[in-house]
A = this chain, B = another copy of it.
Amino acid sequence: MVIMDGKEVSEALKRKITAEVDKMVSAGRRRPKLVAVLVGDDGASQVYVGHKERACGQVGFDSEVVRMPASTTADELNAVIDRLNADDSVDGFIVQLPLPGHLSEEAVIERISPLKDVDGFHPETTGRMISGLDAYLPATPAGILELIKYYNIETAGKHCVVIGRSNIVGRPIANLLSMKGYPGDCTVTLCHSRTADLKEIVRGADIVIAALGKAHFVTADMIKEGAVVIDVGITRIADPSKKSGFRIAGDVDYDNVAPKCSYITPVPGGVGPMTIACLMQNTLKAAERRTKR
Chain A interface residues (CB < 8 Å from chain B): 106, 122-133, 156-159, 165, 167, 171, 174-175, 178-179, 185, 187-192, 194-197, 201
Contact = CB atoms under 8 A, between A and B. Distances in A.
Nearest to A129: B127
Of A133, A174, A192, chain B has the most CB atoms within 10 Å of the CB of A192
Contact of A179 (B123, B159, B165, B196): B165
A188 B187 contact: no
Nearest to A127: B127
A8 B123 CA distance: 35
A194 to B, nearest CB: 4
A163 to B, nearest CB: 10
A190 B161 CA distance: 11
19 contacts: A106-B133, A123-B124, A123-B128, A123-B131, A124-B127, A126-B127, A126-B130, A127-B129, A130-B171, A132-B167, A159-B196, A165-B179, A174-B190, A178-B190, A178-B192, A187-B189, A187-B191, A189-B190, A190-B190
Given A123-B131, A127-B130, A178-B190, 18 more contacts: A106-B133, A122-B127, A124-B124, A126-B127, A127-B127, A127-B128, A132-B167, A157-B194, A159-B197, A165-B178, A174-B190, A178-B192, A185-B194, A187-B189, A187-B190, A187-B195, A188-B190, A189-B190
Of A128, A158, A187, A192, chain B has the most CB atoms within 10 Å of the CB of A187
A129 B124 CA distance: 10
